[in-house]
Amino acid sequence: MSYWIDQGKVDALKYTFPYLKVYKYKDVVSVEIDTKHLKDFLTFLKEDPAYSFRMFIDFTVVDHYPSTPRFEAVYILFSPHYKQRIIVKSWIEGDSLPTATDLWKGAKWAEREAWDMFGIKFDGHENLVRIFLWEGYPYFPLRKDFPKEGIKEVYLPSLNERENIPSHDYDPYHTPIPTLEDLEKTQKRRIDKKNQIVLNWGPLHPGTHGTIWFMFDMEGETIKECDIILGQLHRGIEKLAEDLTYTQVIPYTDRMDYISAICSNVTYVNAVEKLLGVDPPEKAKWIRTMLCELQRINSHLLWLGTTALDLGALTMFLYTFREREKLMDIIEGIAGIRLNSSFMRIGGVRYDLPEGAIDIVEKFIEDFPSRVRDYEDLLTKNRIWMKRNREVGIVSEEDVYQYGLTGVMARSAGVPYDIRYIQPTDAYAEVDFEIPLGTIGDAYDRYLIRIEEMKQSVKIVHQCVDRLKRMKNDRYVATDNPYVLPTLQETYLSIESMVKDFNLRIYGEQAPLGEVYLSGENPRGELGFYIVSKGEGKPYRLRIRSGAFYNLQAFPELIRGKTVADAVALLGSIDPVVGETDR
Partner 1 sequence: MEILGTVIGVAVKSLIFIVGMFLASAYLTLIERKFAGHVQQRPGPLHVGFHGILQPIADALKVLTKEDIVPANVDRVLFYMASLLAFVPVIMILAVIPFGEPFTVFGLEIKPYITDLNVGLILALAFGSISIYGVIFAGWASNSKYPMIGGLRKAAVLIGYEVALGFAMVGPLMMAGSFSLREIVAAQDGFFGAFIWYQPIAFIVILFAILAETGRTPFDVQEAEAELVSGYNTEYSGMKFGLFPLAEWYIGTFVLSAIAVILFFGGWKGPEIFGPLSPFVWFFLKVGMMFMFFLWVHWTLPRYRVDQITEIAWKVMLPLSLLNIFITAFIILIKG
Distances (CA, A) of 519 to 147, 196, 296: 29, 43, 16
Which of residues 223 and 454 has its CB atom nearest to partner 1 in the complex? 223
**Smallest distance, partner 1 to C-beta of residue 47, A:** 41
Among 156, 165, 197, 513, binds partner 1 (CB under 8 A): 197
375 binds partner 1 (CB under 8 A): no
**Smallest distance, partner 1 to C-beta of residue 222, A:** 10
Which of residues 187 and 253 has its CB atom nearest to partner 1 in the complex? 187
Among 129, 378, 394, 435, binds partner 1 (CB under 8 A): 378
**Smallest distance, partner 1 to C-beta of residue 45, A:** 42
Distances (CA, A) of 191 to 195, 214, 223: 11, 10, 13
529 binds partner 1 (CB under 8 A): no
**Count of residues engaged in binding partner 1, rule: CB under 8 A:** 31
**Residue range at the interface with partner 1 (CB under 8 A); choices 83-91, 406-414, 416-424, 561-569:** 561-569
**Residue range at the interface with partner 1 (CB under 8 A); choices 68-76, 380-388, 413-421, 453-461:** 380-388
Is the distance from CB of 566 to CB of 389 less than 8 angstroms? no
Which of residues 210 and 404 has its CB atom nearest to partner 1 in the complex? 210
**Smallest distance, partner 1 to C-beta of residue 568, A:** 5
**Residue range at the interface with partner 1 (CB under 8 A); choices 42-50, 335-343, 424-432, 563-571:** 563-571
Among 283, 388, 411, 583, binds partner 1 (CB under 8 A): 388
63 binds partner 1 (CB under 8 A): no
Which of residues 468 and 567 has its CB atom nearest to partner 1 in the complex? 567
Distances (CA, A) of 469 to 294, 472, 473, 580: 17, 6, 10, 34
| List of residues 6+ apart from 290 with CB closer than 8 A | 361, 460, 461, 464, 465, 468
**Residue range at the interface with partner 1 (CB under 8 A); choices 21-29, 52-60, 254-262, 376-384:** 376-384
Which of residues 3 and 321 has its CB atom nearest to partner 1 in the complex? 321
Tell me the residue type at 161: E
394 binds partner 1 (CB under 8 A): no
Beta bridge partners of residue 563, listed in sequence order? 222
Which of residues 436 and 572 has its CB atom nearest to partner 1 in the complex? 572
Is the distance from CB of 78 to CB of 45 less than 8 angstroms? no
**Smallest distance, partner 1 to C-beta of residue 572, A:** 8
Among 199, 240, 337, 435, binds partner 1 (CB under 8 A): 199
DSSP string, 463-516: HHHHHHHTTTT--SB-TTSTTSPPPHHHHHH-HHHHHHHHHHHHH---PPSEEE
Give the x/- contact pattern for partner 1 in 300-319, rule: CB under 8 A.
--------xxxxxxxx--xx
Is the distance from CB of 298 to CB of 328 less than 8 angstroms? yes
Which of residues 344 and 372 has its CB atom nearest to partner 1 in the complex? 372
Which of residues 42 and 567 has its CB atom nearest to partner 1 in the complex? 567
Number of helices (H), then strands (E), belonging to the chain: the values are 22, 17
Distances (CA, A) of 562 to 126, 170, 573: 23, 52, 15
Which of residues 53 and 216 has its CB atom nearest to partner 1 in the complex? 216
- Which of the residues 314 through 373 are near partner 1 (CB under 8 A)? 314-315, 318-319, 322
Rounded Cα distance between 581 and 235, Å, is: 11
With vertex at residue 473, the alpha carbon angle to CA 470 and CA 479, rounded to the nearest 5 degrees, is 125
Among 566, 575, 580, 582, binds partner 1 (CB under 8 A): 566
Rounded Cα distance between 265 and 474, Å, is: 22
Q: For the beta carbon of residue 353, count every other beta carbon within 10 angstroms.
A: 20
246 binds partner 1 (CB under 8 A): no
Pairing of strands 84-91, 28-32: parallel
Task: Give per-residue burial for 40-68: e unless 16+ CB within 10 Å, then b.
Answer: ebbebbbeeeebbbbbbbbbbbbbbeeee
16 binds partner 1 (CB under 8 A): no
Give the x/- contact pattern for partner 1 in 403-422, rule: CB under 8 A.
--------------------
384 binds partner 1 (CB under 8 A): yes
**Residue range at the interface with partner 1 (CB under 8 A); choices 360-368, 383-391, 422-430, 504-512:** 383-391
Rounded Cα distance between 273 and 242, Å, is: 17
Beta bridge partners of residue 533, listed in sequence order? 514
Task: Give per-residue burial for 291-318: e unless 16+ CB within 10 Å, then b.
Answer: bbbbbbbbbbbbbbbbbbbbbebeebbe
Rounded Cα distance between 69 and 92, Å, is: 7
Handedness of CA 215, 219, 220, 222 (dihedral sign): negative
DSSP 4: B
206 binds partner 1 (CB under 8 A): yes
567 binds partner 1 (CB under 8 A): yes
- Contacting positions for partner 1 (CB under 8 A): 197, 199-200, 205-207, 221, 308-315, 318-319, 322, 378-379, 382, 384-385, 387-388, 563-568
